[in-house]
Amino acid sequence: MGSAKGRIRMVDISEKKFSARMSRARVRLCASPRVLRMIKEGGLGKGDCLAAAQAAGILAAKNTAAIIPLCHPLPVSFVDISFSFRLDFMEITSVVKTAYATGVEMEALCACAVAALTVYDMAKAHDKGIVIKDLRLLEKRGGKSGVWKALT
């Protein structure tokens, strides 16, 4: 019998210890100052963009293992998504927690990506050139490797 090796493999976390874990991620959405003001003040005509982005981002964090093939399903115990605004971009930051055998980096990144796409969707009629930039992990706590922070 010929054989073909499995090509995609989940990491086996059966033997890993549970610990309290946290990840923080961030993404930027660059748009015109006018459109950023509309996003901030709820003036897009489609409604309160930020609350919708939070709802979508939180749902995405919980649904990460169904979206990213090799992510482990895990009991997300907290998700928070917050926003801050500068002149030519807005920043979306997510914090995700769990007490489990593997980390929540992907959940935090997924929450940011989907929150940003939700804002994009509500703002795109006003600005076709929006760009979603610099989606990255900022911080990671818990597990064998302890605390890690990005050099931003």
Site for a copy of itself in 66-125 (CB under 8 A): 66-86, 91, 97-101, 105-106, 109-110, 113-114, 116-118, 120-122, 124
1, 17, 144, 146: which one contacts a copy of itself (CB under 8 A)?
Answer: 1
- Residue among 107, 78, 62, 113 at smallest CA distance from 92: 113
Determine the size of the site formed for a copy of itself (CB under 8 A): 87
Under the binding rule (CB under 8 A), the answer on residue 34 touching a copy of itself is no
| Contact string 45-64 vs a copy of itself (x = CB under 8 A) | xxxx-xxx-xxx-xxx-xx-
Sequence-distant contacts of 82-85: CB under 8 A, at least 24 apart? 83/40, 83/50, 83/53, 85/36, 85/39, 85/40
Task: Tell me how far, at minimum, the Cβ of 107 lies from a copy of itself, in Å.
Answer: 11
Under the binding rule (CB under 8 A), the answer on residue 13 touching a copy of itself is yes
Which residue in the list 48, 80, 88, 121 is annotated as catalytic? 121
Cβ neighbours of residue 105 closer than 8 Å, sequence gap 6 or more: 23, 25, 137, 140
Other C-beta atoms within 10 Å of 150: how many?
Answer: 12
DSSP 87: S
Task: Tell me how far, at minimum, the Cβ of 24 lies from a copy of itself, in Å.
Answer: 13
User: Is 88 among the residues known to form the active site?
Assistant: no
Catalytic residue annotation: 121
